[in-house]
Amino acid sequence: MISIGKGIDRLDGRLKVTGGAVYSAEHTLPRQAYGYMVTSSVPNGHITGFDTAAAQAMPGVIAIMTPVNAPRLPKQETPPPGVQRNPHLSLLQDDRVHYNGQPIAVVVADTFEQARAAARRVVVRYAQEPAELDFKAAQQHLRKAPSQPEKPADTNRGNVRGGMARAAVKVAQTYHTPLENHNPLEPHATVASWDGDKLTLFDSTQNISGVRKVAAQTFGIAPDNIHVVCKFIGGGFGSKGTTWSHVILAAMAARMAGRPVKLAMERTQMFGPVGARPMTEQRLQLGAARDGKLTAQVHDTICSTSFVDDFSEPCTTITRNLYQSDSLQTTQRMATMHLGVPTYMRAPGESSGSFALESAMDELAYALHIDPLVLRLQNYAEQDPEKGHPYSSKSLRECYRVGAERFGWARRNPAPRSMRVGNTLVGWGMATATYPANRSKAKASAVIRPDGTALVTSGTHDMGTGAYTIMTQIAADAFGLTVAQVTFDLGDTNMPEAPVSGGSQTTASVGPAVHAAATAARDKVIALAIADAQSPLHGAAPTAIASADGWLALRSDPSQRDRFSAIIARNGGQPVTADSESAPGDEKKQYAMHAFGAVFVEVHVDADFGTVRVPRVVGVYGVGKVMNAKTAHSQLLGGVTWGIGMGLMEKTEIDARTGRALNANLADYHVPVNADVGMIDVSVVEEHDPYINALGAKGMGEIGIVGVAAALANAVYHATGKRIRELPITPDRLV
Amino acid sequence: MQSFFYDRATDPAHALRLGQQTGARFLGGGTNLLDLVKGDVEHPMRLVDLTRIGLDQVSETANGAVRIGALARNSDVANHPLIRQRYPLLSQALLSGASAQLRNMATMGGNLMQRTRCPYFTDTAFDMCNKRMPGSGCGALKGYNRTHAILGASQACVAVNPSDMNVALAALDAVISVSSPRGERAIPIGQFHRLPGDTPQVDTVLLPGEMITAIDLPASPFARHASYIKVRDRASYAFALVSVGALLDIDNGSVRGARIALGGVAPRPWRVPSAEAALTGAALSDASIKRAATLLTAGAVGLKDNQFKITLVQRAIVRALRQAEGSV
């Protein structure tokens, strides 16, 4: 029985709903103490002094770690390639404050409450300096974004000036997206414990091997001495892909206190030190011929970054890849502000970038009097517009067709305000979605036990995505065992190394490694059977033998079969093991690899109040081979839901004088609740991709959010006649 | 969070005695006060838990009036037949507030005492808030004030009262019964919450040691025509940008009486008697509604981020009155 693709229930589901899944902050060690971070309340300046006497005298207080007494860390060398640089961490090595909410001290006490109470009695004195807290003003000193692989700061192809001159219709508009915070349900937490020079970290992270490398680099100890464990994650969305200050601070505090320390962040502390989606200002210029064919595209992005370290939101990537056009120019610039360093947040680049590009495409469609979907088909890229490579697979045309059909797009009257029902303005909008198919090197290890069951391990993560389940399915099929006979384990640096679970790459990276390890172990059992005179398979060619449901059998005569357990028992009774390493090859040099999708939304706008509700969304995606229909559906559903939040609600409000987040809690930082979300109809089209990896999987963690905000803005325009070019689309923008 | 003493009162007299101790505060469902204690905003020395003293019933009193015990839970009151039948506005307002889980905990008396959501008040890292630290200035006045007051505010404080329930109680002319060792007194809802003036740290006229025992609702001729309109940034679990509680007594097509209270726009539920008078004596008309909306928002001042509230609340007034007129 093939299990890949089947929508089997999450194997960790029961543990999670019964409370049996132990999350990082739930680990409690003998003699463990609690750490609580003191964070800055000013946006820029120096700390001139601490008054810790009152706090130190409070019940239960063990230590107060400040820049004055914190352990000195070795001078940071330039890290080896692939390991994050550390200047963005606040490790109490100096007295600088770069943003409001920056960790500046840690109080360690016997209980969490004692640590928090004492932290509030720590008096901090600052010499404040003027802070840059205005995005517009910060744009007076733009800097070029550091180029990342595949993401150069500036790109240019064709003759943009000529293309614009030739255009019959032009659109030139500026779009804004706000600061957003990831807000995973599980706050960041680390439990740190030293045993001599050996460090154990229970950490909520999307990158256990990254945490190990950063901690090793920071403390100047061997990576082998650091053990990182993360079995369950209550959401990360990019905010747990980086090793942030609190992880190292927990270990420093544990060393100082001479006891294990648990440092769990509070929700309010998560608006600054653990990343954010930066603000963007995006200038889009599109030129098109009368038939809608793009003659020129210009996409200039400015995003906010921090004084601590640089991060650039790669908004222009989507514009470089999505449509065929005669010419294109893109730029990425950064405006530096006294805010926490931004980071990757679900579909970094594509989510913010698609809001601008796909809004502008809608504006162009109206300017041309062409249906927005037809305009996109007119500019359909049959090959990578930038490099000219063929796509390894692309089903976008099919996504458009199926999506339009399921939505009923053909019945749309394009005139704004044409679909009013009483006080409700009805609007339909659409947008394209895309996300690159990423893959990194990953390792896995497999063992078939004498009883015929198997265990596969890889140091990857399950952020709630379904990795436990999916990897078990992949392994079961490769072994030829049932899902019930296979266990997959993850989240421990003692296991073979896997990459950061980000960029929608876990299935595409770890899946092939799991597949290879399981296949190799199975092949060893096949070899045992072939060599075993007592086996019905004795002497058969390896290729003549198939495995399924715990049996090996001749393809030509399945009645000639042998059990895994029987073969091992007759041949020494020892577990059969195999290791694998899997990595991308040259395929990216030959093919463009992307997932695509189309999203259609209906909005109901209250004509008087400007409140926007979303009764239905149709999203159709081409993501290669789906590993588990149920978890895949959940990924897309969650992505679309978040897109609704991005479009209508999400914004971190920053106080213009102090740079402090004003809505740093889940009552005031709005994400959609059930009442905001109507029917979400997400589906995938069949897609066979022979080039991308052995499994044909492209990854689907992020594409669901892409395009939703633009589709909403386009639908709001259709409903109201008002073009909203700044997110989120809250009632005050429509009153 | 500082340490504090916790007393569990067994009956109202016991509660009142415990409440006279230095630094004591009464505790209802804990949905607001405990959050503020954890957030270092409130620092009670002693909490007197009232949730086991009774006073949690909804009952009919003389002449069709209804008494709601101060410890009745918001969800129980919202779903009580007497409230649904006679005071549907209160039911609607309660059910539009918070989340089901919070409504199951929150008490009626506690909701009356709910403090503002102004971020400069709830986050102690801000060094300006006259409500939290009298004399420190108002952070919102020149800061972020999208959700703040357009009516009744002062230079010292522009925060709004966050309660939906209070808006309905204001429209219904509720009377708050309070006890103290000095005896009982009854406070009309319109006098219960204070405007900030120069002393925004004082939210209500309740004196130290006074305990809310009941909310009395007079017999209402408005049961058939009631509408609570709440405009918010998301469909549920969000505080009002603006809200309107509207009640009409319609006799033969003519408005015999009207009550309108506004929420989300002022430091207390906002009523303007002249606006209500402007609606009476004739059928509801676009002109009379517009007059009422103009009178209700007379003197409204928009701040940097909340200008939109003036238009929005006027539209909500229109919707609420029309909906009340049509509701049966």
- Segment B292-303, tens digit of pLDDT: 999 999 999 999
Q: pLDDT value at position A151?
A: 85
Q: How far apart are CA A595 and CA A624, in angstroms?
A: 7
Q: Is the pLDDT of residue B153 over 90?
A: yes
**Percent of chain A at pLDDT exceeding 70:** 99
CA A726: distance to chain centroid? 23
| Mode of pairing for the β-strands spanning A454-457 and A486-489 | parallel
Cβ separation of A674 and B308 shorter than 8 Å?
Answer: no
Contacts of A419 (CB under 8 A, 6+ apart): A413, A425, A426, A427, A428, A718, A719
Instruction: Report d(CA A93, CA A104) in Å as an integer.
Output: 10
Q: Report which secondary-structure segment, H or E, holds A561.
A: strand A561-563
Q: Which of A180, A281, A702, A726 is catalytic?
A: A702
Q: What is the pLDDT of residue B328?
A: 46
Q: Do A648 and B234 touch (CB under 8 A)?
A: yes
Q: Taking CB atoms and an 8 Å cutoff, what residues of chain B touch A608?
A: 315-316, 318-319
Quick check: A86 pLDDT over 70? no
Q: How many CA atoms lie within 13 A of A324 on its CB side?
A: 14
**Nearest residue to A538 (alpha-carbon basis) of A562, A557, A564, A555:** A562
Task: Provide the shortest C-alpha distance from residue B80 to chain A (in Å).
Answer: 24
**Percentage, residues of chain A above pLDDT 90:** 96
Cβ-based contacts of B232 with chain A (< 8 Å): 611
Cβ neighbours of A120 in B, within 8 Å: 40, 124
pLDDT tens, position by position, A478-501: 999 999 999 999 999 999 999 999
| For chain A, counts of helices (H) and of strands (E) | 17, 28
Among A613, A657, A735, select the one facing B308 at the smallest CB separation.
Answer: A735
Burial of A633 (0-12, 13-18, 19+ CB in 10 A): middle
Structure-token pair, residue A600: 């259609």
Which residue on chain A is closest to B313 by alpha carbon? Answer: A609
Contact A674 B236 (CB under 8 A): yes
For residue B128, pLDDT beyond 80: yes
pLDDT per residue as tens digits for the range A592-648: 999 999 999 999 999 999 999 999 999 999 999 999 999 999 999 999 999 999 999
Residue with tokens 């949730």: B51
Which residues on chain A are in Cβ contact (under 8 Å) with B321?
Answer: none
| CA distances (Å), origin B196, targets A190, A619, B118 | 44, 50, 14
A185 in Cβ contact with A25 (< 8 Å) = no
Peptide bond into A130 cis (omega under 30): no
| Chain CA centroid to CA A598, Å | 20
CB-nearest to B125 from A610, A656, A660 is: A660
In the DSSP assignment, the letter for residue A542 is G
pLDDT in tens, A89-133: 999 999 999 999 999 999 999 999 999 999 999 999 999 999 999
CA distance B23 to B2: 13
Residue A126 CB coordination number (10 Å): 17
Strand order across the beta sheet in which A420-421 lies: A420-421, A424-436, A594-606, A612-622, A677-684
Which amino acid is present at A366? Y
Residue A422 touches chain B, beta carbons under 8 Å: no
- Does residue A472 have a pLDDT over 90? yes
CA distance B86 to B69: 17
Quote the tokens at residue A656: 């213009």
Please give the Cα distance from A533 to B37 (Å, whole number).
Answer: 77
Rounded to whole angstroms, the Cα distance separating B232 from B252 reads: 35
B215 Cβ partners below 8 Å, 6+ apart? B67, B68, B70, B108, B109, B112, B169, B174, B175, B176, B177
Q: Which residues contact A189 (CB under 8 A, 6 or more apart)?
A: A23, A24, A25, A203, A204, A262, A263, A264, A265
Helix (H, G, I), strand (E, B) or coil at B304: coil
CB within 8 Å: B143 and A120? no
In single-letter form, the type of residue at position A267 comes to R
- Give the CB-side neighbour count of residue A275, counting CA atoms within 13 A: 24
pLDDT of the residue at A146 = 84
A150 an active-site residue?
A: no
* B46-49 vs B24-27, strand pairing mode: parallel
Per-residue pLDDT tens over the stretch A241-293: 999 999 999 999 999 999 999 999 999 999 999 999 999 999 999 999 999 99
Smallest CA–CA distance from B1 into chain A, residue: A117
For position B1, what pLDDT does the model report? 57
DSSP per-residue letters across A161-212: HHHHHH-SEEEEEEEEE--B----SS--EEEEEEETTEEEEEE--S-HHHHH
Answer yes or no: is pLDDT of B113 > 90: yes
H-type alpha helices, B183-285: 189-192, 273-277
More confident residue, A385 or A88: A385
CB A87 within 8 A of CB A42: no
Number of C-alpha atoms within 13 angstroms, CB side, residue A686? 0
- What average pLDDT score do residues A358-372 get? 98
State both tokens at A117: 């109470």
Which structure tokens are listed for A290? 């009368």
Kindly give the pairing relationship between strand B46-49 and strand B5-8. Answer: parallel
For residue B71, give every residue at least 6 positions away whose Cβ sits within 8 Å of its Cβ, in sequence order, or none: B28, B50, B51, B53, B54, B55, B56, B107, B108, B109
